[in-house]
Chains A and B, each alone.
Chain A
Amino acid sequence: MTVASRKTEAENGARPFQKAVPDFSKEQDLAAYERMLTIRRFEEKAGQMYGMGLIGGFCHLYIGQEAVVIGMQMTLKPGDQVITGYRDHGHMLACGMNPKGVMAELTGRTHGYSKGKGGSMHMFSVEKGFYGGHGIVGAPVPIGTGLAFANTYRGNDNVCLTYFGDGAANQGQVYESFNMAELWKLPVVYVIENNRYAMGTAIARSSAETNLSRRGLSFNIPGEQVDGMDVRAVKAAGDKAVAWCRAGKGPYILEMLTYRYRGHSMSDPAKYRTREEVEKVRATHDPIEQARLRIIEKKFASEDQLKKIDAKVRALINEASEFATHDAEPDVSELYTDVYR
């Protein structure tokens, strides 16, 4: 358990992680790179399509945080569950959901994952173990705890990854969930994506204890802070947490120190932080650039081979956006379906 220091350097922007992280194999590094890049390109495209009026309402981009979901997903096995809030596009792609279906949901079309009735914040895939996609801050936490409860009830060794933000960490229901999860030793990893802001509120302005990995202390839940910009560090911490859960030892908290480059949602002018702050993280900690440099340095792939991966990813995303642009709006008869079954 590594919940020692009260104050973290994360508050003033510096990353405390000089410690060595286990290396990835060539396959792992290349796979992680491609998957993170897929999320990045998907989100950039979603941003453009929002700008063109093809996507409506709220649209929360995941750019900058890609290493968190990709690293965590590498720790899962079939039957494990994932749940998160409204900043969910990356989680869905990480779960293996089809970019076409996700993008078509963003544009509110027939072949979106929710037939166009859920939108950016509300998508699900029973098949891929993705349980949403929830618009209410904090609500996924007890729901994820309930998914973990179902694993215990059924006596399997599956684990539920329950993601929430630094802002959500101040919701009362989070602590109600922590209590029950530890009391009943439920297999849930609480992944706190601390991207330093909840809309315009910097963590230090909202949180009496800004080291969120300590938030489980009074429930006896172990927690640790993780460099959420390094996919290898995420995977290593995730492996440990998931193994803890699978062994029946109860919940585990991982505080992912990460950063979102874009505004909270598309309409956020982001005046609560400086352009320089964003640029600095981007220049020094970008999860995808780190992976790219590593791959080149270790000669896992050449610049040319990486360009090919880039082109492949771009093609996949363009295909998704083309599909989502031309797919039909839901038939009016869908208005009344799916209220009950």
Chain B
Amino acid sequence: MPTEVLMPALSPTMEKGNLAKWLKREGDAVKSGDVIAEIETDKATMEVEAADEGTLGKILVPEGTHDVAVNTPIAVILGEGEDKSAIKDVKPSQQQKAAESAAPAKAEKAEAKAQETPAPKQEQKPPQAPEAKAASDPDIPEGTEMVTMTMREALRDAMAEEMRRDKDVFVIGEEVAEYQGAYKVTQGLLQEFGAKRVIDTPITEHGFAGLGVGAALAGLKPIVEFMTFNFAMQAMDHLINSAAKTLYMSGGQMGCSIVFRGPNGAAARVAAQHSQDYSAWYSHIPGLKVIAPFTAADAKGLLKAAIRDPNPVMFLENEILYGHSSPVPKLDDFVLPIGKAKIARSGNDVTIVSWSMGMSYALQAAEELAKDGIDAEVIDLRTLRPMDTGTIVASVQKTGRAVTVEEGWQQSGVGAEIAARIMERAFDYLDAPVARVSGRDVPMPYAANLEKLALPSVAEIVEAARAVCYR
């Protein structure tokens, strides 16, 4: 049967084009791959190749014709043994019919234009976005022994416990094995688990982050340590494009169970390239979970949860907090839910929301405020994505006022996100605009006095809380 050659779409946006030139004449033999015509699109002159073998039976659109809509028949190709008389039988090819009925947006648009009767396509409404739900913290049985330990030890114990539990878990990064960790977080792991499961890498963040993703796609559960998150920017492409998006792009077939961890946020006196908070960066990305603990117990329970989680998790630690000690319940398997905020101090007058190092300023500020008779409620988010909006909103419904505290920059920061959610869900409860305390809008300075000024302070939080309380 003769087949029609249709005006092709030659770019993602093309709807029509000019038929510049025919390179074959009626009666010419054509074979697959021969250039038969040239078409001008808005961008370039493109060649049309024949897809079938045969003879060019008839040219339907002469050269020089402008604005030929995509999918218009432009010629007829005759198959072996067919002659021109067959042309009158030509039926639109099966696919052209399909193109019409299956309604690919582009073909439809082009056709609608040609007839100047725009066929309105029913707009599909997006479904409701799912609400993240998180379980509550497990009950700690009465009489459980509490062991005071540093966050560093708690993190190490979490990894060791999970490595004992699951042979697929391994630790990889710079100086994690023989050196025992640049910040000594992986202390003792090499001795217990050996070099096969505790792996020193070359200084090659882009490479080992990608390698970790590959191992995770193959079903292993890597814990990838970045010496600090400042260096993870070299690996950003794998964190976001490879780790976070693969589950979605594979239609749920192939996921990536991996933890990227290491110290994040301002360190002391190391200046701009080594001192930066990435909370907002990662919390922007669907497909990632982002955790930033403040206490040793949360660090342990959440790191264990992160290692078990089937999704990629960014686990943001803090260098200054590594040496801080706090009580951790002595339980065989202490795991906390990801996505659940914690009321670190309850109060009625103002809600202060923070996480990680910001919590240390926030709690001190609450003590100061208490002296003035302002009873602050302090929420430790612990997980930034998925964010526990419910706990924040419930608190603001009670207090009517909110202050956010973060080390990172204000523009497009986590505080901005919290303020927006409060506005969307608790606007009627607010007695004052939400206040944001954050790092200054500058790269981190080196000089001791300037560095101090660049970071949020207890005094600023106190001032902001007073302001929203009009006191």
Binding site for B on A (CB under 8 A): 44, 47-54, 56-58, 81, 83, 107, 112-118, 122-126, 131-136, 139, 141-151, 153, 172-173, 176-177, 179-180, 183, 261, 266-267, 269-271, 275, 282, 321-322, 325-326, 332-333, 335-341
Do A146 and B253 contact each other (CB < 8 Å), given the known contacts A44-B51, A51-B9, A341-B310? no
Size band of the interface chain B makes with A = 35 or more
Report if B267 contacts A (CB, 8 A).
Answer: no
B251 touches which of A52, A142, A338 (Cβ 8 Å): A338
> Closest approach, in angstroms, between the C-beta of B392 and any C-beta of chain A?
21
Contacts of A269 in B (CB 8 A): 43-47
**Interchain CB contact under 8 A, B211 and A149:** yes
Residue-wise interface mask of B (122-143) relative to A, using a CB-CB cutoff of 8 A (1 in contact, 0 not): 0011110110000000000000
Whether B104 is near chain A, meaning CB under 8 Å from some CB there, is yes
Chain B residues lying within 8 Å of A47, measured Cβ to Cβ, are: 49, 51
Contact pick for A177, options B49, B130, B207, B287, CB 8 Å: B207
Contact A147 B214 (CB under 8 A): yes
Residues of B within 8 A of A341 (CB): 247, 252, 255, 310-311
Q: Are A113 and B253 in contact (CB under 8 A)?
A: yes
Within 8 A of A (CB), among B1-60: 6, 8-12, 14, 32-33, 35, 41, 43-47, 49, 51
Cross-interface CB contact of B104 among A52, A122, A266, cutoff 8 Å: A52
CA distance A146 to B224 in the complex (A): 12
Q: Are B8 and A52 interface neighbours, CB within 8 A?
A: yes
Cβ contact within 8 Å between A338 and B207: no
Which of A44, A141, A326, A332 is B127 in contact with, Cβ under 8 Å?
Answer: A332
B229 contacts A by Cβ under 8 Å: no
Let me know if B466 is at the binding interface, CB within 8 A: no
Taking a contact as CB atoms closer than 8 A, the residue among B106, B215, B251 that contacts A115 in the complex is B251
In the assembled complex, how far is the CB of residue B208 from the closest CB belonging to chain A, in whole angstroms?
Answer: 7
Q: A44-B51, A52-B9, A266-B11 are in contact. Are A282 and B33 (CB under 8 A)?
A: yes
Assess whether B201 is interfacial by the CB under 8 Å rule.
yes
Q: Which of A118, A179, A267 contacts B207, CB < 8 Å?
A: A179
Residues of the B chain whose Cβ atoms lie less than 8 Å from the Cβ of A116: 251
| Separation of A339 and B246 alpha carbons in the complex (Å) | 9
How far is the CB of B206 from the nearest CB of chain A, in Å?
5
| Chain B residues with CB under 8 A of A135 | 241
Bound state CA distance, A160 and B104, in angstroms? 37
Is there a chain A Cβ closer than 8 Å to B88's Cβ? Answer: no
- Cα separation A341 to B308 with both chains bound (whole Å): 12
Contact call B241/A136, Cβ cutoff below 8 A = yes
Residues of A within 8 A of B98 (CB): 54, 322, 325-326
* 5 interchain pairs, CB-CB under 8 A: A53-B106, A54-B104, A112-B251, A172-B206, A176-B207
**Residues on A with beta carbons closer than 8 Å to the beta carbon of B51:** 44, 47-48
Q: Contacts A118-B250, A145-B210, A337-B252 known; list 5 others, CB within 8 Å.
A: A52-B71, A113-B253, A133-B249, A145-B214, A180-B207
The answer to whether B254 and A126 touch across the interface, beta carbons within 8 angstroms, is yes
Residues of B within 8 A of A151 (CB): 218
Question: B456 — which chain A residues lie within 8 A by C-beta?
Answer: none
Q: How far is the CB of B448 from chain A (nearest CB, A)?
A: 36
Let me know if B361 is at the binding interface, CB within 8 A. no
Given A53-B70, A53-B71, the answer on whether A144 and B214 have CB atoms closer than 8 Å is: yes
What's the Cα separation between A332 and B12 when bound, in Å?
23
> Top 8 closest A-B pairs, CB basis?
A146-B214, A142-B210, A176-B207, A51-B8, A115-B251, A150-B218, A53-B106, A267-B11
Contact partners of A153 in chain B: CB under 8 A: 170, 196, 215, 220
Q: Does B202 contact A (CB under 8 A)?
A: yes
Quick one: which of A51, A115, A267 has the most chain B CB within 10 A? Answer: A51
Q: Tell yes or no: B325 within 8 A of A by CB.
A: no
B202 contacts which chain A residues (CB < 8 A)?
176, 179-180, 183
- Nearest to A282 among chain B residues (CB) is B33
CA distance in complex: A56, B108 (Å):
14
Residues from chain B with Cβ under 8 Å of A148 in the complex: 214
Give min CB distance, B312 to chain A, whole Å.
Answer: 10
B238/A139 in contact, CB under 8 A:
yes
In the complex where A47-B51, A114-B253 touch, is A339 in contact with B210 (Cβ < 8 A)?
Answer: no
Q: Is B185 an interface residue (CB 8 A)?
A: no
A176 to B204, CA, bound (A): 6
**CB <8 Å contact, B210 and A173:** yes
Among residues of A, the one whose C-beta sits closest to the C-beta of B101 is A326
**A21 CB, nearest partner CB in chain B, Å:** 26
Beta-carbon nearest neighbor of B12 in chain A: A57
| Contact assessment for A114 and B250 in the assembled complex, using a CB-CB cutoff below 8 Å | yes
Q: B432 within 8 Å of A by Cβ? A: no
CB B340 to nearest CB in A, in angstroms, measures 15
CB distance from A229 to the nearest CB of B (A): 16
B416 on interface, CB distance cutoff 8 Å? no
Which A residues touch B94, using CB under 8 A? 322
Inter-chain contacts of A336 with B (CB < 8 A)? 127, 129-130
CA distance A210 to B225 in the complex (A): 36
Q: Which residue of B lies closest to A267 (CB)?
A: B11
Q: Is the CB of B215 within 8 A of A146?
A: yes
CB <8 Å contact, A267 and B43: yes
Encode B233-250 as 1/0 by CB contact (under 8 A) with A.
000011001100011111
**Minimum CB–CB distance for A120 against chain B, Å:** 11
Contact of B219 with A by CB under 8 A: yes
Which of B98, B129, B196, B289 lies at the interface centre, i.e. has the most chain A CB atoms within 10 A of its CB?
B98
Which of A57, A332, A340 has the most C-beta atoms of chain B within 10 angstroms of its own C-beta?
A: A340
The verdict on B95 contacting chain A, using a C-beta distance below 8 Å, is yes
Please tell me if the beta carbons of A267 and B210 are within 8 angstroms of each other in the complex. Answer: no
Q: Are A124 and B242 in contact (CB under 8 A)?
A: no
Q: Does B320 contact A (CB under 8 A)?
A: no
Report how far A335 CA is from B47 CA in the complex, Å.
37
B415 part of interface (Cβ distance < 8 Å): no
Asked if B217 is an interface residue, CB under 8 A from chain A, the answer is: yes
Any A CB within 8 A of the CB of B99: yes
Contacts of B46 in A (CB 8 A): 267, 269
Min C-beta distance of B361 to chain A, whole Å: 31
Flag if B217 contacts A143 (CB, 8 Å): yes
Asked whether B8 lies within 8 Å of A338 as measured between CB atoms, the reply is: no
B96 touches A52 (CB 8 A): yes
Q: Is B102 an interface residue (CB 8 A)?
A: yes
Q: Which residue of chain B is the closest to A130 with respect to CB atoms?
A: B254
Q: Cβ of A144: which chain B residues have Cβ within 8 Å of it? A: 214
Complex alpha-carbon distance, A341 and B248, angstroms: 10
B408 at interface (Cβ–Cβ under 8 A)?
A: no
Contact: B210 with A141, CB < 8 Å?
yes
**CB pair B6 A150 closer than 8 Å:** no
Complex alpha-carbon distance, A118 and B253, angstroms: 11
Which residues from chain A contact B248 at a C-beta distance below 8 Å? 117, 338-339
User: In the complex the two chains form, is B215's CB within 8 Å of A51's CB?
Assistant: no
